[in-house]
Amino acid sequence: MHIFVINSGSSSIKYQLFRWPQERPVCSGLVERIGADQATITHKVFALDAPEMPATEQRLTLPLPNHEAGLREVVRLLTAAPNGVIQDPADIAVVGHRVVHGGEAFAATTLITQAVKTEIRRLFALAPLHNPANLLGIDVAEQLFPQARQVAVFDTAFHQTLPEYAFRYALPEALYTEQRIRKYGFHGTSHQYVAAQATAYLGLPDARLITVHLGNGCSVAAVRGGLSLDTSMGFGPLAGLVMGTRTGDLDPSVLLHLLGPLGYSPEQVSTLLNKESGMLGLTGSSDMRDIGAALAAGDARAQLAYDLYAYRIRQYIGAYVAVLGGLDAVVFTAGVGENDALVRRLACQDMGFFGLELDEAANQQRIPGLREISLPSSRAKILVVPTNEELEIARQCAQLLA
Ligand SMILES: Nc1ncnc2c1ncn2[C@@H]1O[C@H](COP(=O)(O)OP(=O)(O)O)[C@@H](O)[C@H]1O
Ligand SMILES: CC(=O)OP(=O)(O)O
Ligand SMILES: [Mg+2]
């Protein structure tokens, strides 16, 4: 059978089609810059006997006003000659959706029903960049694949193992018991996947890992024996690390000052913190490739932004060594974590105290797949592990339906 996985982001859609139970990627792709003048679709098709490297890659540039237009174009690519991979959308038995916020209602992968969609909608306010796009992806997929079973895999689910003293805030109890205000944590599918890869690589079932997911959104998790013990994002995906457009940790007094003396509305504060801050607010761009280029050209704002971004990562590594009571490896993953050697160098700087020693030559190499970038003398390893949220989502769909 075929499982199709959709990871709808705020302005992008990642997708992957798998042949199951072989776990074979049939095709994968990325729709970027949805809503901009010209969107792009990169569509890769894999050969049956060589799933490591795409056999063909197509790149399309076209206007895509919204997610629906994007997904319709993807379905056209799936079936269109000469590189079509399925005869008919009905060949897809299961569609797995990444859903960012599952609240406390969803601690596990869930078959999507009307009631599940209502709950995902109820959580819009807590993940305004994500849940609306995720629900849109579900609505469009229900239309395009009416015979398929639709399954939700929640970013929050992996972090449901946090102990209560880690997930509770020091607020009056009723705000937790009645309003469910607590830390949820996000990027769980990615943290779970790379932690499993690293644990297998190290051959340590009880490995103490700090997984550092650096994409547009960024988060750190403390993982021991495959269980999440703490993570840097909280009630919504705003807390913790500095991100592309989000602040990360911020003293709540700043919010009070914005809402009070400075006269911001709640909507303006939300836009400020979610969409106008982070690396974008510091430098004018949210894309690390642009900021890296500006830094190379001697831009002082880019230097400060890199320093601030890496400093926050170092603070969390220190904190999570304490949470784990030691450290076997730090794992870098996602767009920035897998590709930006300077971020990794700055994040691992002066960490000898924690037994972390970076091998700068290995750090600079661009090799696909899991790789070790620490020196042989390093007590804890530093790993780069490419994430594959789509494969993890497909596995969880298959487990649910088995
Ligand atoms: N070669 C690269 N060097 C530095 N940063 C990169 C590189 N490739 C991608 N990135 C960065 O990765 C980020 C996006 O990561 P990704 O994991 O795809 O995010 P998301 O899934 O949240 O959309 C962007 O900030 C982008 O600049
Ligand atoms: C939860 C989150 O921040 O996701 P993303 O990194 O895809 O924006
Ligand atoms: Mg991502």
pLDDT at 54 over 90: no
- The count of other CB atoms within 10 Å of the CB of residue 192 is 24
Mean pLDDT of the chain: 95
Please report where in the chains the tokens 């000898």 appear, as a residue.
352
Q: What confidence score (pLDDT) does residue 239 get? A: 97
98 Cα: distance to centroid of ligand 2 (angstroms): 10
Q: What confidence score (pLDDT) does residue 83 get? A: 78
Residue 149 lies in a domain: yes
Ligand 2 and 236: CB distance under 6 A: no
Asked whether the beta carbons of 231 and 221 are under 8 A apart, the reply is yes
Ligand 1 and 339: CB distance under 6 A: yes
Both tokens assigned to 339: 């590709």
389 Cα: distance to centroid of ligand 3 (angstroms): 8
Higher pLDDT, 181 or 35: 181
The enclosing domain of 142 has a CATH number of 3.30.420.40
- Whether residues 355 and 263 share a domain: the answer is yes
CB burial of 79-90 (b: ≥16 within 10 Å; e: otherwise) equals: eeeeeebbeebe
Predicted model pTM: 0.93
Ligand 1 and 278: CB distance under 6 A: no
- Whether residues 210 and 357 share a domain: the answer is yes
ipTM of the complex: 0.98
Residues 138 and 129: their CA atoms lie apart, in Å, by 16
- In this prediction, residue 196 has a pLDDT band, given cuts at 50, 70 and 90, of very high
Q: What confidence score (pLDDT) does residue 52 get? A: 75
Q: What is the pLDDT of residues 240-277, one digit of tens each?
A: 999 999 999 999 999 999 999 999 999 999 999 999 99
- Whether residues 137 and 217 share a domain: the answer is no
- Whether residues 123 and 43 share a domain: the answer is yes
- In this prediction, residue 102 has a pLDDT band, given cuts at 50, 70 and 90, of very high
pLDDT at 50 over 90: no
Residue 209 lies in a domain: yes
Q: What confidence score (pLDDT) does residue 321 get? A: 98
71 Cα: distance to centroid of ligand 2 (angstroms): 19
Domain count, the chain: 2
Ligand 2 and 155: CB distance under 6 A: yes
- CB within 8 A of 333, min separation 6: which ones? 190, 194, 211, 212, 213, 214, 384, 385, 386, 387
Q: What is the pLDDT of residues 138-182, one digit of tens each?
A: 999 999 999 999 999 999 999 999 999 999 999 999 999 998 999
Domain of residue 220, residue span: 204-384
Residues 149 and 94: their CA atoms lie apart, in Å, by 5
Is 251 considered catalytic here?
Answer: no
pLDDT at 128 over 90: no
95 torsion bin: left (phi>0), alpha (psi -120 to 50), beta (else): beta
* Residues tagged in the binding site annotation for Mg(2+): 7, 389
Residue 301 lies in a domain: yes
- Whether residues 370 and 229 share a domain: the answer is yes
Q: Pick the catalytic residue: 88, 139, 155, 290?
A: 155
pLDDT at 369 over 80: yes
Q: What confidence score (pLDDT) does residue 88 get? A: 87
* Residues tagged in the binding site annotation for ATP: 14, 213-217, 287-289, 335-339
- Whether residues 143 and 271 share a domain: the answer is no
- CB within 8 A of 341, min separation 6: which ones? 363, 364
